[in-house]
Amino acid sequence: MDSPRDEINLNSDHFALFGLTPAFRVDPLALDKRFRELQARVHPDRFAHAGDSERRRSLQLATRVNEAYQTLKNPLLRAQYLLSLAGSDVDKENNTAMPPEFLMEQMEWREAVAEARQASEYGELEQLHHRVRQRMSKRYEQLAELLDDRHDYVQAADRVRRLMFLEKLLAEIDDGMAALEA
């Protein structure tokens, strides 16, 4: 039986762990394939009859692989991770200053969600969901250009902060839709 130690470094960055070039644009099929390969090699069930240290190492590696995969498959988390690798912090806890027009837009979105929920207008929530998804798609395209093509980490951090607002808004819309379905 192979050792879970073979070729896997707990200290490597997420991209190196998966054999990928650090970039925002990742091939999701290649990421999924590599995840399955790594999990097959390090899953604790494979080491159920091994010694304590091998079982412990397998659990550490499986946890590490899962954490890296969850980060790389989520575009917002992947962008934040890339920024951290580049030494640029999103500073999401302290840097909440946003342009007034963006904040007004957020307020308008949230008011529309609240009104649709209150009026039990599922169709309106679906339309809002679609519009927010479209907006996010454009922002993610901009983010890919900023990170991969221009290496403009200051602007990328700003886009990430904006996307955090939009992701939260989308979750609120989804919650509203789920509440109306119940």
Mean pLDDT by 10 residues, the chain (182 residues): 60 93 97 95 86 88 95 98 92 71 95 96 97 97 98 95 96 96 88
The model's pTM is: 0.89
> Token digits for 66?
């899962």
Q: In the chain, what are the domains?
A: 14-73 (1.10.287.110), 100-181 (1.20.1280.20)
List Cα–Cα distances, 174 to 77, 87, 90, 109, 125, in angstroms.
20, 34, 26, 13, 8
The torsion angle over the Cα atoms of residues 79, 84, 90 and 92, rounded to 10 degrees, is 100
The residue with tokens 């998804």 is 133
Cα distance between residue 60 and residue 67, in whole Å:
11
The model's pLDDT over 55-69, given as tens digits with 9 standing for 90+, comes to 888 889 999 999 999
Query: DSSP letter at 47?
Result: G
Residue 33: CB atoms within 10 Å: 12
Is the C-alpha dihedral spanning 15, 20, 25, 31 positive or negative?
negative
pLDDT of residue 1: 45
